[in-house]
Structure 1
């Protein structure tokens, strides 16, 4: 029995060593997808650096981030959005239909958990002030919109209430003042998430961080509008000490890539190209190591398997979803005749004919992507907050001869 257990241990170690030798899977030329084990340690590090640059992450977040609570309200919301983008089933009650236009328009979505609350600090002593740290927003990106979500439990009472959100401001004397942002009217019996548009105060906080004094939540009965009541008496979750992690207040912000962000991306791409030129002799990401030259020439231009596995790169501690992605690539030759399945352009057909007549006059046409798709990645930042990013042109959809 001990020998059997030891053998299992050895096999698991060997599997780990093999799996850690590379982060991607390719077609072995026999219609089988297998793990590429041909990378050296240096090549794998170069591959990881390139992937991190593409994802816009300077360095891998620390491993302790895996202990962050994925089941709190903000991360659960982003996981719901991710599943919606991927066409998967959703299991929460955030009612994403209202957010659909912002989700489609944005490139980056972030959630900010409540960092604290403060009671009895305003002249309206029955309300509550919520505090949010929004200092980690992407620099240079354009704000599409921002929302506050509050969860309300149903209360067995007849009547309506008005829940108001105010931006807390400081006057010239340092006294706190309130500016109304949004109001929602609901029944006492309503249960679910309440949505408030806070784009204006959020934009102010980003432009002037020192003005972030939080938001003030005020509740009034319709029957007695001049009398303020405590938020918890109507079922509002407004305390970080409540045993309701999946119901905590949070802010959601939607962004589009801005010009400065685009410039930094271009800069990163240039850096990646320079590194590729330096390491070209070490690794070629378009080369399939399982195909010999003779086997390669037998294949015409078509889409090939290339799957990047984040778990093999040991990134599962900071990337929440997906586990990896099928990037695919275009491989094969564009020899005459260019059949219909090669999706050849007219220019490629002419170029191939010229090459066939006189190879010195023109090179063969090249097998390259015709259409590319996007992918979404949900991951932790250094401060344990969660971000969802959409990356364009990451997945090959079809190939053709150019």
Structure 2
């Protein structure tokens, strides 16, 4: 088998691993990212956790664990008609499988346009939940969730904390709350919130705490003339394999693989795995009790893995970030 054929098989194995860990039988249908808000397309609204070692300790299961969800809001036209201030309403569609016990934080992101505001002064935005509506669709009651002061001298993304509200909605099984954002200091009828596809509001939900943990990795990579067991590069480019139309981030990643010989006894005894420890004892016992040459030769295989975070579009109103356990080879050894 040629090296190109081996590479193709390795890539197919990685693709199958991703789908299996996401509990998918096949890749999702092709999606368009053109109407995603700018912070998502450019990646700065996406939570990145570099503490893969911490994640590995927490992710004992084979399957993916959700670390972030982004909910795209649907504008609601009927429920804001009677507000005394310029306002806009949105309906949220919260996944029913979202566990309240793993919510770390939630934020509403919205983009303000200074053309509709008075320059040189701060403006007050009032976020409320529309709670009750009569059969005639007239305003009955709303509950204030947050008040935000915004200084408007330039275009900007603003954030309002929704963590407590989201947990209450989940606890009471309110999966489709309606929220209203009003500008109490705006003197025009137009609401200064952009609804353009690049700037439309959305809610970011983080479901796994960030950790700061620095660790040094051993240099286990193969060199140009390596023959003994080592780690070699295997970059998976999602555009090349045709998966860049549903995986938003990252654009690709290095999965790595193990290659090389395990003929030397030193390679076996220094591998540091449970299997190699037993093998080392067997070598010692054999050398004491027989003069026969040992013919067992172990394989070069992965001894440590780390996780991969991917961010993908799973429906029209939700994007999800998950952590896939054991997707990146960190070190190789003979076992």
TM-score with structure 1 length normalisation?
Answer: 0.59
CA distance in 2, matches of 1:320, 1:370: 30
Aligned to 2:90: 131
Deviating more after overlay: 150-159 vs 357-366: 357-366
Q: Residue 34 of structure 2: which of 69, 73, 87 is its match?
A: 69
Aligned to 1:143: 103
Report how far residue 135 of structure 1 moved.
3.6
Matched positions, count: 294
Which ranges of structure 1 fall in alignment gaps of 5 or more residues?
Answer: 1-25, 29-33, 87-105, 222-227, 258-297
Q: Residue 164 of structure 1: which of 126, 132, 137 is its match?
A: 126
CA distance in 1, matches of 2:237, 2:152: 48
Matches within 5 A, 1:3-402: 28=3, 34-36=4-6, 49-63=16-30, 65=31, 67-69=32-34, 71-73=36-38, 75-76=40-41, 79-81=43-45, 107-118=66-77, 121=80, 123-136=82-95, 138-140=97-99, 142-154=102-114, 155-170=117-132, 176-189=140-153, 191-208=155-172, 210=174, 212-221=176-185, 232=190, 235-237=192-194, 240=195, 244-256=196-208, 299-311=227-239, 313-339=241-267, 343-344=271-272, 347=277, 349-354=280-285, 367-383=300-316, 385-401=318-334
In structure 2, the residue corresponding to 1:375 is in which secondary structure? strand
Q: Cα 1:202–1:108, aligned 2, differ >3 Å: closer, same or farther?
A: same
CA distance in 2, matches of 1:157, 1:321: 37
Which ranges of structure 2 fall in alignment gaps of 5 or more residues?
Answer: 51-64, 210-225
Deviating more after overlay: 167-176 vs 156-165: 167-176
Q: Confirm or deny: 8 A CA contact 2:71 2:94 kept in the other structure.
A: no
Larger relative contact order (CA 8 Å, sep ≥ 6): 2
Report how far residue 236 of structure 1 moved.
3.0
CA distance in 2, matches of 1:388, 1:211: 20
Deviations 1:36-81 (A, max 9, x none): 3776xxx96x875443112343532212x2x34255346336x235
Q: Cα 1:61–1:382, aligned 2, differ >3 Å: closer, same or farther?
A: farther
When you count helix as a share of all residues, which structure comes out higher? Answer: 1
Q: Cα 1:116–1:172, aligned 2, differ >3 Å: closer, same or farther?
A: closer
Report how far residue 303 of structure 1 moved.
1.6
TM-score with structure 2 length normalisation?
Answer: 0.69
Report how far residue 169 of structure 1 moved.
1.3
Report how far residue 166 of structure 1 moved.
1.2
In structure 1, the residue corresponding to 2:119 is in which secondary structure? coil
Q: Cα 1:353–1:229, aligned 2, differ >3 Å: closer, same or farther?
A: farther
CA distance in 2, matches of 1:230, 1:211: 33
CA distance in 1, matches of 2:270, 2:45: 36
Q: Confirm or deny: 8 A CA contact 1:354 1:361 kept in the other structure.
A: no
Report how far residue 389 of structure 1 moved.
2.1
In structure 2, the residue corresponding to 1:165 is in which secondary structure? strand
Q: Confirm or deny: 8 A CA contact 2:112 2:156 kept in the other structure.
A: yes
CA distance in 1, matches of 2:280, 2:68: 44
In structure 2, the residue corresponding to 1:245 is in which secondary structure? coil
- Aligned alpha-carbon RMSD (Å): 4.2
